Amino acid sequence: MTNLIRWEPMREVMTLREAMDHLFDDAFTRPMGMAGSSIPALDLYQTDDAVVVKAALPGFKPDDVQISVTNDVLTLRGEYKQESEQNEAVYHLRERRHSSFERSLTLPTSVQTDKAKAEFENGILTIQLPKSDEVKPKSISIKAK
């Protein structure tokens, strides 16, 4: 014998408050790698003379990050090492863990890797890659007759 249960469509409609609760739960309780964001977050832009890449690397030190360029592909690798565990402490929450990343992107133009510069300040890595002379804009002077 089968029990019949009355279907109430309004019971299955999520309220706005429930939807917002789910949104905030997902945003603040999931680890960053699972929230759909890329690690590290990057900005890539060009000036007349260089290609510039900025990477947000909070918690990393300059020694934790490696940069390489091969055939116009920039690769960033990093490893964040976990601090030693406090044996005498009782943890109630422990979200900071050992992690690593690798991110590659194709540069928009040819660059001079031997003249590249990288700076690390306040968790932001800035890489300046001078453009190759062949791709830099050239001006042509006009002579009047």
| Tens-place pLDDT, residues 82-104 | 666 667 778 777 766 667 889 99
Alpha carbon distances (Å) from 87 to 84, 91, 93, 97: 9, 10, 14, 16
The whole-number average pLDDT for the span 118-128 is: 94
Reply yes or no on whether the pLDDT at 12 is more than 80: no
DSSP 3-state of 141: coil
C-alpha to C-alpha distance for 137 and 77, rounded to whole angstroms: 32
| Tens-place pLDDT, residues 21-77 | 777 766 655 444 444 445 789 999 999 899 999 999 888 889 989 999 998 899 999
Q: Compute the C-alpha angle 91/97/103, nearest 5°.
A: 165
Least Cα distance to 64 among 91, 101, 28, 11 occurs for: 101
For the chain, the domains span: 40-130
For 27, the enclosing helix (H) or strand (E) is helix 16-29
Which of 3-7, 89-93, 126-130 is most confident?
126-130
Query: CATH number of the domain at 40-130, out of 3.40.50.300, 2.60.40.790, 3.20.20.370, 3.40.190.10?
Result: 2.60.40.790
Q: What is the pLDDT of residue 56?
A: 92
C-alpha to C-alpha distance for 8 and 15, rounded to whole angstroms: 15
